[in-house]
Amino acid sequence: MEHLETFRRVSFLEDLTEEELGFVVQASEGKHFEKGDVVIEEASRGEGLYVINNGKALVTKALKDGEQKTISELYQGDHFGEMSLVTDKPTSASVIADGAMRCLFISSEKFMRLIYDHPSIGRKVLWAFVQTLSNRLAESDRRYARMIEQRDRFAAVRHLVSVGWMQTRILFSYVWVWIRKHLLFFPHSEASLSRIHRQNAIRFKKVAFKLKGANIKTGQIASMQAHILPPEFIEEFKEMRDNVTHTEYPLIAGMIQAEFGVGPLELFADFDKVPIAAASMGQVHTARLHSGEKVVVKVLHPGLERSVEIDLWLIRQFVRTLGLFSKKWDLNQIYREFEEPLRKEMDLLYEAQSTELMSKELAKFDVTVPKVYWRYSTRRVLTLEFIDGVNLDNLEQIKAWEIDRVKLMQTYLRAFFQQVFLGGFFHADPHPANAFCTPEGKLALLDFGMVKRLPDHVREGLLKEIFGGFFFNIPLWASGLIQKGACKEEDRPILEKWGKKYLSDPKVRAALFDHEIEDRKEMADIFGNMTEMIDELSTFETPQDNLMVARAIGIVTDVCREVVPEKPVSQMATPIMMPIFTEILKQHPEFGKVEDSPVVSGAMGNQRGEAASE
């Protein structure tokens, strides 16, 4: 009778009649455990249903460090192990006796025989089982939602603290450098300053790898600014191009499950759990479709939206603070230009559309762009054609393939000029990890999440500015700045005065067009002169739609220098720029005169000769 009452307390047996419960009792047996006995071991195959008749048990879970954590306690009348009655999957936790304990036990085999012999018991038990599991799932969902909400709050705080503390440490390290130099007259040595640069670069890199998102993107942008940042920063930040810490596979599988309703191993015929690349916004896995095509699958990092929102908030506060000290620059305008493409990068369908548009634009230049598989793409998952190749900064492999690096870079430059100057729709993030060299020497462009379409007046103004400066055509250069909105026509005399003075300086030209700076003081002088010119312009306004294209031009120039260090970028670019410049002269013959400058005349003669030979 005691055993009958014990089983009646089991939720999925409570609808059985007394006769049916009697059959259950007959199929059971008693078991006795002492304190510390492991009744069920985590990750083992379950044996059957246990009902505690007397005593207490602990449910524990193994942590990563091997420690056992108690997640619940079981008392008289509680049951466990029931899932083994319907599945042979490994158990999710351990159950350990917490003192002397007696249980009633029904093995899985005896339970299956019981419902086979008595179908009415099977129907009632299985229906009650479904209800019990539904209630458990609902409670688990509520508990999980509360846990996620709490975790997100803590994660946001940790994120803010991590970034804020990192920024503070970097800021104060350079404040101390300034104090020692200007107030104490005891400046750091070159070696000491180099250590400070590297230490700060490592601080930023560690936080960026941990948080991903906008921090990695900032590091990638900075890694291509060798003409501005100390070499220690460039060396450390290069790791952020393609060595980002990847997200663990279960989280990636969960993202795909949430987007498609099935996991990656069902959606694809084959899916490599180890990513081939991890970036700021997501990571890339190779896979194979059921139809046989090899593809790459890009999946956004879980929690990316929250991370980017926090980073953008921090940047916005920083920009507002700087704006208090900036008289002429509209830093909010610059921030908006940074924010817009970053938000678009979190929508992979936008990237898919941009990929197809760019494929049409670049087809005539023999540049490979991957095919989009729309059926396997959503806002958080993007499936593309697999392209075999290496990043453009993998010089060892490119040289081993005996690829003509100058020709490769001229294709790269021609594709970029086509996008910016003729099409107006361009890849705004063309760093080496987003550009491949195939074994055949073809150029492939990837990752069109950050793209920009330039308004016509900005594109034409930029065209005049760059070509006017490159060919020392000062009226054309000034017209470009005016057309893109940097200032108004009444400031033309001031622009032309400054243009004649500085665009004939070989050091300035090396900095602007080849990113070659031997002395960082020279770069500081160049920026100082630019500031003086802006202060003199009475109608200056922060030009719109310029930040991304200026950054992209800087990246393209630095990539060319990295791949072909023995040849100036301007020499490689001249044969490509001359035909475009000719088209401008047809529309504006008044800009055909190249100013008389010994420096420019000599350089132009050399460049035209090389252009003709090529």
DSSP for 378-441 reads: -SSEEEEE----EETT-HHHHHHTT--HHHHHHHHHHHHHIIIIII-EEES---GGGEEE-TTS
- What DSSP element (H or E) covers 277? strand 277-278
The answer to whether 474 touches 423, Cβ cutoff 8 Å, is no
Q: Rounded CA gap, 390 and 382, in Å?
A: 20
Distances (CA, A) of 303 to 74, 306, 346: 35, 6, 11
Q: What torsion, rounded to 10 degrees, do the Cα atoms 204, 209, 212, 214 define?
A: 20
- What DSSP element (H or E) covers 299? strand 294-300
Q: Quick check: helix, strand or coil at residue 105?
A: strand
Compute how many other C-beta atoms are within 10 angstroms of the C-beta atom of residue 166.
19
Given CA atoms 414, 419, 424, 426 in this order, what sign does their dihedral have?
negative
Q: Rounded CA gap, 326 and 324, in Å?
A: 6
Q: Rounded CA gap, 39 and 95, in Å?
A: 5
What secondary structure letter does DSSP report for 484? T
Indicate if 429 belongs to the active site: yes
Centroid of chain to Cα 370: 19
> Which one, of 111, 110, 109, 99, lies nearest residue 74 by Cα?
99
Q: Quick check: helix, strand or coil at residue 283?
A: strand
> Which amino acid type is present at position 164?
G
Distances (CA, A) of 420 to 78, 252, 411, 551: 70, 35, 14, 12
Distances (CA, A) of 183 to 8, 168, 186, 577: 84, 21, 8, 49
Which is catalytic among the residues 311, 393, 429, 447?
429
List Cβ neighbours of 528 (8 Å cut-off, separation of 6 or more): none
Given CA atoms 243, 244, 249, 254 in this order, what sign does their dihedral have?
negative
Catalytic residue IDs: 429
